[in-house]
Amino acid sequence: MRQHMGRGLAIALTTALAVGVIPASAVAESGGRAGLSLPTPGQPRAVPVKPVKSGGTAFPDAAALHPWKGAPRVSRPASGSTDIPLDAAPGTGPVSVSTTPVGPLAQAGVRASRSTLVDPAPKAGAKVKVTVADRTATRRAGVQGVLLSVDRAVAQSTTDTLRVSVDYDGFRGAFGGDWAARLRFAELPSCVLSTPQRPECRSQRPLDSVNDTETGEVSAEIPSGPTTVPRTDAAKASSASASGAMVLAVTADPSGPTGDFKATPLDASASWSAGGSTGALSWNHPLEIPAVPGGLVPGVELGYNSQAVDGRTGASNNQASWIGDGWSYEPGFIERRYKSCEQDKANGTNTTKRFDQCWYSDNAVLHLGGKSTELVYEKDKGWHPEADSGEKVEKLTGAVNGDEGTDDVDGKGEHWKVTTTDGTQYFFGRNRLPGWTDNGTITPEDDSPVTAPTPPGASP
């Protein structure tokens, strides 16, 4: 009996809970009407549509509109020499000193005009001999443009200043980087024609030049007196320097109206780091290297990174590499940093305002194997990387590389040797590799060092 009543109580409680969860409105309506009437939703008004046509006008093919025409045609002035009389009417040939040249220079683009400063006209019979060097002699002199000499032995009978001009329209496309717009004249010691392998014979003194990019002509005024390039001992000993010839080169300045193409310092982005997904696309292209005995073949590859320009700003040198924007080939380098001489007047004699680069400390930055780190000098222990990975760093001197440093400070012929933990040795700035000789055929130098002269009077 107790069991029956308990079961009935459970059923009643369940029924009451079920009714309690029904909405009040539903209960009230079900009690008042037989059925529930819902509103009929209205249909939205139709919007007129038109069929979309597929296809359409195709975009022009940019590649077809601008096909590759191949390398530009380059025609440099031919080698040869001619006598140009100064008392004749100005000419229109390619190297210039006062009349239309005769002989091979008439087709070479070399002419000379007279710029009268004192006398209204040169003496009768005054002439200038102009000689254009061949391509072999030009390359040996370290000149990419034109190498020529102006013999003013006869022209010294007049006090005129001579204007020499070269028509470069035929070889303006020889190099990239707006090379033609940066062309200017420079004077070289005359020993460059006989002993171009001597660094002192390849020194250049820029001349005030006028470059007309529309007509493709560069010109400069030269005095009719003796040459103005300082004579070194080697130049004085050269038989060529005994003549009255002035050696001129048409070569490109590191910077021009369209940009700066000088060697750039270490990018600030080399010290950046980021973790996770950076969004950069990187790609390495290996180069095939000839096999050598023992299998000691270096790995050489070209690298690409889409974020290679992230560390550059509007105030830095943002030119693309010689491979292309985003591409790099960096076998490594060691760089010393300088500061403006205006900030380095302490303990020095430079009291005038100047913004040349001055020495301020014995410092260096190593960039090798994708790692950039400061080199730190520790007394009695030598140099070691700030981010040390076990490399042995040695600063050496005595190399023939154009470095005219200071004895007992940084030394002359400075170069570096880095030995990694696997025994690989890297040399920086050595210039002349083992086995180099100048007996007979000259072994090429690698020109790896780039020096920056500091002005006299700067604090060491």
DSSP notation for 9-26? HHHHHHHHHHHHTS-HHH
pLDDT of the residue at 103:
40
Q: Which residues of 222-261 are buried (b: 16+ CB within 10 A; e: fewer)?
A: bebeebebeebebbeebebbeebbbbbbbbbbeebeeeeb
284 pLDDT tier (thresholds 50, 70, 90) = confident
Most confident of 151-155, 221-225, 288-292, 425-429: 425-429
Q: Which of 192-196, 343-347, 357-361, 443-447 is predicted with the least confidence, judged by mean pLDDT?
A: 343-347
Q: Is the pLDDT of residue 460 over 80?
A: no
As a whole number, the mean pLDDT across the chain is 74
92 pLDDT tier (thresholds 50, 70, 90) = very low
Please tell me the number of Cα atoms within 13 Å of 240 on its side-chain side. 17
Contact 157, 123 (CB under 8 A): yes
Which is more confident, 274 or 128?
A: 128
Residues 251, 143: Cα–Cα separation, whole Å: 6
Take residue 387 and report the two structure tokens written for it: 């981010």
Q: How far apart are the first and last CA of the chain?
A: 117
Contact 114, 86 (CB under 8 A): yes
Q: Which helix (H) or strand (E) holds 84?
A: strand 80-85
pLDDT of the residue at 351:
63
Indicate the burial class of 82 (C-beta count within 10 angstroms; 0-12, 13-18, 19 or more). Answer: buried
Report the pLDDT averaged over residues 192-203. Answer: 90
Which is nearest to 140 in space by CA: 451, 442, 446? 442
Per-residue pLDDT of 157-189, as tens digits, reads 454 578 888 999 889 988 888 899 999 999 999
Which is more confident, 415 or 163?
A: 415
pTM of the model: 0.51
Pairing of strands 127-132, 146-151: antiparallel
3-state secondary structure of 107: helix
Q: Cα separations (Å) of 448 from 100, 149, 271, 333, 392?
A: 43, 29, 24, 9, 21
pLDDT of the residue at 346:
64
